[in-house]
C-alpha cells in the first residue's frame, strides 16, 4: 500500500461535531479527502449543510443538532452508525467561549453555558460513541478538543472555558484506560491560537499580537494545520497512541 497520511481511513465512518466552525470545517474536509464518510454535526444547520455540500468524496451527511441536549446524543451516535455504515472515529470539536476580561463579571449562566457543552456533553458524547465502537467490535478512535489553556490556565478572559478544557484532558486519559481493551484509542489535541471566529470573538488586538510574539513560529495557526494532526491520530499511523494530548502550538508551549 502506498504511504499516505489518511492510511486506514478509506470507507470509515467519522462523526465530526462543530463541523461548521473554523477548525471543524477543515477537519471534515480533511477526512473527506481520505475517502472516509463524514457525518458533520453543528448547531448551525444551514452552515453545516454548506460544509457537507463542499466535501470531497461521497456518502457524507449534515445534521443540525444542539449537543447540549444530552438526551439526543445516543440517537445521534446511532444515526451515525446506521447512515455511515459504521462509526469508527469521533472528532468532537463543538465548544463555546464566552470571554470575560474581568473575572468578577463571570455569571453562573456563563459557567453553565460553557461547562455544559465543553465538558458535560463531551463526556456523554464520548461515552456514547466509544460504547457504539465497543459494540461494533472493530476498535475505534475518539479525538477530543482541548486547548493550550489546559496547560496555561487560559489567556484572554477564558478561565471558565479552560477549566473545562483541563477537564477534557483528564477525562480522555480516564476513557483511554476504559476503552483501550476494546481497541479504542482516546486522545486530545491542544491547539494554541488558530484563526477562527472563536479566537477572534471579543479579543483585544494587542493581545493577539502578544500571542504571536510569544510563538516561536511568529504567527497564528491556519485551521488546516490542526486538521492534519487530527487525521493522523485517526489513521493507522497512530494505532499505539492513546491517552495523550497533542500540543499543536507552533512552539508556544513546550511539554
Ligand atoms: N480557535 C482557536 O484558537 C482554538 C484554540 C484552542 C482550542 N480550540 C478548540 O477547537 C475547537 C473548534 O474551535 P473553533 O475555533 O473552530 O470554533 P468555532 O467557534 O469556529 O466553531 C465551533 C462550532 O461549534 C458549534 N457549536 C456551538 N455550540 C454548539 C452546540 N450546542 N451544539 C452543536 N454545535 C455547537 C458552532 O456553531 C461552531 O460551528 C473547539 O473545541 C475549541 O475549543 C480552538
**Ligand 1 neighbourhood includes 18 CB (under 6 angstroms):** yes
Question: Counting atoms of ligand 1 from 1, which one is nearest the CA of 145?
Answer: 41
Percent of the chain predicted with pLDDT > 90: 93
In this structure, of 1-15, 83-97, 120-134, 225-239, the range with the lowest mean pLDDT score is 1-15
Give the pLDDT confidence score for residue 174 in this predicted structure. 98
- Average pLDDT score over residue span 182-202: 93
For ligand 1, the distance from its centroid to the CA atom of residue 23, given in whole angstroms, is 7
Strands laid side by side in the 89-92 sheet: 61-64, 37-42, 13-17, 89-92, 140-145, 184-191, 245-248
Long-range contacts of 166-173, Cβ-Cβ distance < 8 Å, separation of 24 or more: 167/119, 168/118, 168/119, 168/122, 168/144, 169/245, 171/119, 171/122, 171/123, 171/126, 171/144, 172/126, 172/142, 172/144, 172/146, 172/243, 172/245, 173/243
DSSP string, 177-243: HHHGGGTEEEEEEEE--B-SHHHHTT--HHHHHHHHHTSTT-SPBPTHHHHHHHHHHHSGGGTT--S
Fold that domain 13-248 belongs to in CATH: Rossmann fold (3.40.50)
For ligand 1, the distance from its centroid to the CA atom of residue 93, given in whole angstroms, is 6
**Ligand 1 neighbourhood includes 125 CB (under 6 angstroms):** no
pLDDT at 54 over 80: yes
- Average pLDDT score over residue span 20-47: 98
Which residues fall within 8 angstroms of residue 192, CB to CB, at 6 or more apart? 147, 148, 211, 215, 221, 248, 249, 250, 252, 253
Domain assignments of the chain as residue spans, ordered by start: 13-248
Give the pLDDT confidence score for residue 2 in this predicted structure. 63
Residues 208, 159, 189, 94: is their CA dihedral positive or negative?
negative
Give the pLDDT confidence score for residue 82 in this predicted structure. 97
For ligand 1, the distance from its centroid to the CA atom of residue 6, given in whole angstroms, is 23
For ligand 1, the distance from its centroid to the CA atom of residue 119, given in whole angstroms, is 13
- Average pLDDT score over residue span 43-61: 97
How far lies 183's CA from each of 136, 137, 204, 238, 248, in Å? 11, 8, 44, 12, 25
Give the pLDDT confidence score for residue 46 in this predicted structure. 98
Q: How many Cβ atoms sit within 10 Å of the Cβ of residue 53?
A: 9
Query: Which of 15, 93, 167 to mutate for ligand 1's pocket (most ligand atoms within 8 Å of CB)?
Result: 93
Query: Which of 117, 196, 252 to mutate for ligand 1's pocket (most ligand atoms within 8 Å of CB)?
Result: 196
**Ligand 1 neighbourhood includes 23 CB (under 6 angstroms):** yes
**Ligand 1 neighbourhood includes 220 CB (under 6 angstroms):** no
- Residues carrying an active site annotation: 161
Return the ∠ at Cα 220 (arms to 218 and 222), rounded to 5°: 130
Confidence of residue 199 (pLDDT cuts 50, 70, 90): confident
**Ligand 1 neighbourhood includes 194 CB (under 6 angstroms):** yes
pLDDT at 58 over 70: yes
For ligand 1, the distance from its centroid to the CA atom of residue 105, given in whole angstroms, is 23
* pLDDT (tens digit per residue) in 109-153: 999 999 999 999 999 999 999 999 999 999 999 999 999 999 999
Confidence of residue 202 (pLDDT cuts 50, 70, 90): confident
State how far the Cα of 123 lies from the Cα of 167, in Å rounded to an integer. 10
Return mean pLDDT, the chain.
96
Residue with cell 477530543: 144
Amino acid at each position: 500500500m502506498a504511504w499516505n497520511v489518511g492510511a486506514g481511513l478509506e470507507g470509515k465512518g467519522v462523526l465530526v461535531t462543530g463541523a461548521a466552525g473554523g477548525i471543524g470545517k477543515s477537519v471534515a474536509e480533511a477526512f473527506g479527502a481520505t475517502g472516509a464518510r463524514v457525518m458533520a454535526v453543528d448547531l448551525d444547520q444551514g452552515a453545516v449543510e454548506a460544509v457537507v455540500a463542499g466535501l470531497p468524496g461521497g456518502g457524507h451527511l449534515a445534521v443540525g443538532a444542539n449537543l447540549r441536549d444530552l438526551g439526543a446524543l445516543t440517537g445521534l451516535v446511532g444515526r451515525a452508525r446506521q447512515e455511515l455504515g459504521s462509526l469508527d472515529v469521533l472528532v468532537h470539536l463543538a465548544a463555546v467561549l464566552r470571554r470575560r476580561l474581568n473575572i468578577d463579571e463571570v455569571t453562573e449562566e456563563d459557567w453553565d453555558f460553557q461547562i455544559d457543552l465543553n465538558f458535560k456533553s463531551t463526556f456523554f458524547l464520548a461515552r456514547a460513541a466509544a460504547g457504539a465502537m465497543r459494540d461494533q467490535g472493530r476498535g475505534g478512535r475518539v479525538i477530543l478538543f482541548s486547548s493550550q489553556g489546559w496547560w496555561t490556565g487560559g489567556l484572554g478572559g477564558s478561565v471558565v472555558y479552560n477549566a473545562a478544557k483541563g477537564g477534557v484532558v483528564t477525562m480522555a486519559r480516564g476513557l483511554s484506560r476504559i476503552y483501550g481493551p476494546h481497541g479504542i484509542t482516546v486522545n486530545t489535541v491542544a491547539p494554541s491560537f488558530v484563526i477562527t471566529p472563536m479566537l477572534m470573538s471579543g479579543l483585544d488586538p494587542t493581545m493577539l499580537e502578544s500571542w504571536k510574539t510569544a510563538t516561536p513560529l511568529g504567527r497564528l495557526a491556519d485551521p488546516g494545520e490542526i486538521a492534519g494532526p487530527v487525521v493522523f491520530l485517526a489513521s493507522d499511523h497512530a494505532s499505539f497512541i492513546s491517552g495523550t494530548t497533542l500540543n499543536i502550538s507552533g512552539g508556544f508551549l513546550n511539554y
